[in-house]
Amino acid sequence: MLRHDASCLSGPVSKSRRSWKQNHANPPRDESRVRTELVERVRREIADGSYDTPEKLAIALERMLNRLEWQ
């Protein structure tokens, strides 16, 4: 019987899972760069009540259910 150690595997066997790809395939973002125009626009939309829409809620719920499905 051939024995393998941990260095034989390049990653989890379930590489096809989206959660693995999302967490490990994308390089980390540069968190020090703030997109001030975007932040100000979103703040204005939140203040005037136009930021939250039924479409955004539907997208957020779908993403949440997809994540729960893969766990």
Model pLDDT, residue 66:
93
Q: What is the dihedral of CA 52, 28, 24, 69, to 10 degrees?
A: -10
Q: Is residue 12 part of a domain?
A: no
Q: Is residue 25 part of a domain?
A: no
The structure's pTM equals 0.43
Domain count for the chain? 1
Q: Is residue 63 part of a domain?
A: yes
Write out pLDDT tens, residues 21-71: 555 555 666 667 889 999 999 999 999 999 999 999 999 999 999 999 886
Q: Is residue 20 part of a domain?
A: no
Model pLDDT, residue 36:
93
